[in-house]
Every structure is written in C-alpha cells, then in structure tokens.
A = this chain, B = another copy of it.
C-alpha cells in the first residue's frame, strides 16, 4: 500500500442512514448487546467507504457494566446506576464477562476479509471518572477530589478497573482483533503531574499485559501537554486530538507512530476543506508512521460526502 492506512473514530453510527435503519426504535444498549446487529453496524462504514479498518461497535462502559455498576443508555447519554463513593463500593465490584463483544468480533472477523479489526477499551482513569462522577465533568473535579482526600480508594478502583480492561482486551484479541485502542479520552483533563500520577501507571499496566500480542493505540483527548508522558506508556501508536500539530508532536517525542488528527468539525464544512485538511495532515508526517484518522469521533450531523472525501483524499 503506497499510502498511509485510514479509518475514522466512531465511523459506525448515527450519521449513516443504514445504521438508522438497523437501529429502528432500539436503544444503544440493545444494539451493542446483540452480536449479529452490532457486527452488521460495525461493517456498514467499511462496506460504504472502504476504509482500512473496522472498529467493533461497542462502548467503553461495558467495563463498568461487567463490574456490576448498572449501565443504561438514555436519550441524553449513558446513565450509571451505582456510583463509587468509597472503599466498600470498590470491594463490591463484580467480575463479569464479555460474551457479546467477543461474538460480535468473531462475526466481523469473518466478514471483512483482510481489513484490520480494531478492538478497544476505555482507559482506567476515564472509566474511573465515569464510575465516580456518573457524567464526565469539565475538570473531573469529583474524581480528583476523591484522589486528593482518599487516594487509597481511587488506587484500589483503578487497580480493579485495569484488571478488567486487560481481561476485555484479551477477549477481543482471542476473538480476532488485529490491534486494540485504549480510549483514555478524558485523561487529558488532568494537569501533567496528575496525569502521570493517576492515569499513566494504569495504562502502562494494561499495555504490559497484552504487549507482544497485537499493537496498542493510546488515545487521549487534549493531549498536547502530556505527549512526552504518553510516549512512555509503552503504546505502539499515539492517537492525538486535533489541538496539537502532528509535526510538533513528532518534533517533541520522536518517531513514535501517530494516529489522527483532523478535527471532526472540519467534516461539517465543504468537502474541499476536508480534502485540504487530509492533505495538510499527511504533509505533516510525510505519511510515514501515520494512521490517518480524526482527532475525535465522527459527529452525528456529519454529511456522508465528508466521510467519503476524507477516505478518498488519503489515496487510492
């Protein structure tokens, strides 16, 4: 292949009419819990646009769900029934399994030929934020205040989450994942010292556990101030949000492979702008050690023509 590989975070989902058709009146939770349906949704964008990878249609909150937190999906996003308030809540966490996502991936693996299958899990800090705060706050003040006042509770929580994230990724790798991505999406809301204290060590633990099986991609939104720390995570590829230049990242951290990072808002504008954005992005890396992607997930109002232009601009 004479061009960099390309896929898009959240490439399956609401902006696609064929997704809306399959979804019908069902909730998001129903869709990801039904392997046949989830596999179909996973493959829809690959069929339509021909990108190089399919990412399993699932959710990072399958981990809190497996831990017994009670996760449901309403119109305004996910709701977590039982939040973690203290050590007793951590001790009561359960040990679930991941049958639906594994079966989904086995079906997709059969259906996508030699395209790559991407598995994923939330990062421990990001999941802990959901499990303590319920909804993600702008500054993660709830989780961070608990970390300052009850560090032993947050450490125990992160430790337990990390084990289960590792379990999930191992299940996905056995089910056919060619690569896995850790979405530590909200860890970029921490200052660098707190990132190194409360996010990085647990990402490292997850990466170490699966190291040598498949490559690991680490994604953090708002990563411009913590690139050097992320480069020490052991991840094979760093997936960057749009608020840092790929060329600056390379100058700062050397030749780590990068993924990203066109801003998804650009796909709400004219297609010429999408093409120019893709070309500029590839120009920053020369296309080497670069997985072309967005800096965050596809937005629901994105026109289909923008996604097509994004994929086609990478090259034939």
Contacts and interface: CB of A to CB of B under 8 A. Distances in A.
B139 A244 contact: no
A114 interface: no
Contacts of A226: 243
A141 B225 contact: no
A224 to B, nearest CB: 4
Contacts of A299: 141
Contacts of A59: none
B148 A270 contact: yes
A269 B145 contact: yes
Interface string A178-199: 0000000000111111100000
A245 B225 contact: yes
A264 B189 CA distance: 12
A214 interface: no
B145 A263 contact: no
A273 interface: yes
A222 to B, nearest CB: 6
A47 interface: no
Chain B CB count within 10 A is highest, among A225, A226, A273, A299, for A225
A248 interface: yes
Is the interface on chain A under 10, 10 to 19, 20 to 34, or 35 or more residues? Answer: 35 or more
Interface string A236-269: 0000001111001000000000000001111011
Interface string A260-299: 0001111011100100000010000000000000011001
Contacts of A264: 139
Interface string A128-139: 000000000001
A243 B244 CA distance: 13
A191 B222 contact: no
A165 B101 CA distance: 54
A26 interface: no
A244 B225 contact: yes
Nearest to A240: B225
A270 B149 contact: yes
A295 B264 CA distance: 27
Contact of A191 (B140, B188, B225, B263): B263
B149 A243 contact: no
A192 B145 contact: no
Given A141-B299, A148-B268, A191 B242 contact: yes
Interface in A136-178: 139-141, 144-145, 148-149
A186 to B, nearest CB: 12
Nearest to A274: B148
A27 to B, nearest CB: 24
A139 B263 CA distance: 9
A268 B295 CA distance: 31
A278 to B, nearest CB: 13
A248 B145 CA distance: 26
Contacts of A263: 139, 191, 194
